[in-house]
Amino acid sequence: MRYGAAMDWIDGEYVISDDKRRLNLEEVCRLLGDTYWAKGRPQSVIERSVANSICFGVYFQGTQVGFARAVTDGATFTWIADVIVSPDHRGKGLGKWLMKCVLEHPELQNGKQVLRTLDAHGLYEKFGFERMEFMLRKPPGEF
């Protein structure tokens, strides 16, 4: 569902890009493997999720240091997932900048934007997200 050319946002030596060709899938797997929400997620599942999402890579001097993805129907909702910045690059505002780029992306301007997290509520509330208690049913055998 790409409507235009890849987009890049630049701030000094950091770049955020929605160009999937730039993603380092090994690094995405490594970053996600260190999280509570994706620990144990098979690489094949990560690859499929990337293929079916609008993805954002964060790069420092050409090396990937962050990732986020958005799943959308293009009309009524966007689910923001897997927002992560490498520990070595945290505390520099990259998470805020990454969320700003995701939320302003032209292909994601469609109704409700949703994300689920157990932490970092302060970061996401700054972008208008509200805490809600709900349960998601996990398919049998899901990690």
Tens digits of per-residue pLDDT, 107-139? Answer: 988 766 555 554 544 555 554 544 544 444 445
Prediction pTM value: 0.79
Strands (E), 88-137: 112-114
Sheet of strand 54-60: strand arrangement: 8-11, 14-17, 54-60, 63-72, 77-85, 112-114
**What's the pLDDT at 4?**
64
**What's the pLDDT at 65?**
98
d(CA 81, CA 30): 16
d(CA 99, CA 52): 19
pLDDT tens figures, 57-108: 999 999 999 999 998 888 888 888 899 999 999 999 999 899 899 888 999 8
**What's the pLDDT at 55?**
98
Mean of the pLDDT values across residues 29-57? 95
**What's the pLDDT at 85?**
97
Q: Is 101 helix (H, G, I), strand (E, B) or coil?
A: helix
d(CA 109, CA 65): 26
**What's the pLDDT at 3?**
54
**What's the pLDDT at 136?**
44
Tell me the two tokens of residue 95.
């998470």
**Closest Cα to residue 84, out of 99, 71, 72, 62?**
99
Domain ranges of the chain: 8-125
CATH code of the domain occupying 8-125: 3.40.630.30
